[in-house]
Amino acid sequence: MAEEKKGADRFGTVALSEDGRSLVIIDQTLLPGEMKYIALSDQRDIREAIYRLKVRGAPAIGVAAAIALYLAALEISESAPQADEDEFFRRLEAAKIYLQESRPTAVNLKWALDRMYRHALSLKGAGAARIAASMRLEAEKIRSEDVDVCRRIGENGLTLLKKGQGILTHCNAGRLACVRYGTATAPIYLGHERGYDFRVFADETRPLLQGARLTSYELSEAGIDVTLICDNMASSVMQKGWIDAVITGCDRVAANGDTANKIGTSGVAILARHYEIPFYIAAPSSTIDFETETGAGIVIEERSGDEIRKMWYREPMAPETVRTYNPAFDVTDASLISGIITEYGVLRAPYDVSLKELRDKIEAEKRKEGDL
């Protein structure tokens, strides 16, 4: 069951409860009208929260999934403490698959679940209770890593910007999409702390309005100069010379540098190219899918047409019977991207080369740490 948990700003966007028995998230479907934390312990509630976007943003989904699989392990170990390990892992894998099916495009979801499951497998023979306890530590490690990674993305992104610049962003790749800082907004937050006086323009991001409900909310709450615009106004503000750089997040980076992000991102990238404005993607390395060669191989989630027809209106604004097409994401071609900002630095084209070099670097680090 879902349990309300108010206040508790110390939790950030997503966290494990202090007693280690529930996932604590901000219910983002209620923003900006109401800030409410909810505690979820049932796997069905957690999966529904991910699908219904109560928790959203690729990094935050990854952290939530890691905590969710730990909670599944805890439940399995406590419900059948005498069961053999084969039964434990069978049920744990089923929970992993169940959670993974909630959102198909954001690779962080699969990345976190795979990492947690591999960690559990590495402890085979230790017993279900000990495995679950160790999975808690791994989930908390993934969460703390997200904070560090986003801050490093912010530092790297800030090297691309100058004081007083105008920055356009799309959707929400801010604090609410991660544990803290955000990805695309991390340079904005760090710049704000250091007196850069950025002027931020936030696309409303239809049909779910993450830019309006979330980005404009969190940036204005932080005291950052932010102006909300409709999606179809991006060309106008660029034409006026108000935009010096575009920074967006992303949900998946293919091996050639194509990126999947919230629907409308590719259009912004095309406009930026026309107006000769640099277009940057902010992406933690966990968002890079080296197994998918190009953006054509990225599965794009399609959502209910009701999000277009009637979700934000007192009465339906389109005929109930009208055909709808509602993809949650689109793919931006690598040729339109000026740089991919990661925690390791800013990658430049050709991305098939720079991404491979990054992969080699990450694998070398893992070997050094004994993780491979």
Nearest-CA neighbor of 200 among 164, 232, 235, 236? 164
Judge whether 7 and 35 are in contact, CB under 8 Å.
no
The residue annotated as part of the active site, out of 203, 251, 289, 330, is 251
Judge whether 280 and 340 are in contact, CB under 8 Å.
yes
**19 catalytic residue (yes or no):** no
Residue type for 93, please? E
Judge whether 318 and 308 are in contact, CB under 8 Å.
yes
Nearest-CA neighbor of 247 among 358, 157, 117, 356? 157
In whole angstroms, what is the distance from residue 48 CA to residue 65 CA? Answer: 12
Token duo for residue 133: 């306890």
In whole angstroms, what is the distance from residue 4 CA to residue 65 CA? Answer: 20
235's torsion region: left (phi>0), alpha (psi -120 to 50) or beta? alpha
The helix (run of H) or strand (run of E) holding residue 157 is helix 128-158
> Can you name the residues that pair with 37 across neighbouring β-strands?
5, 26
In whole angstroms, what is the distance from residue 75 CA to residue 361 CA? Answer: 37
Give the active site residues: 251
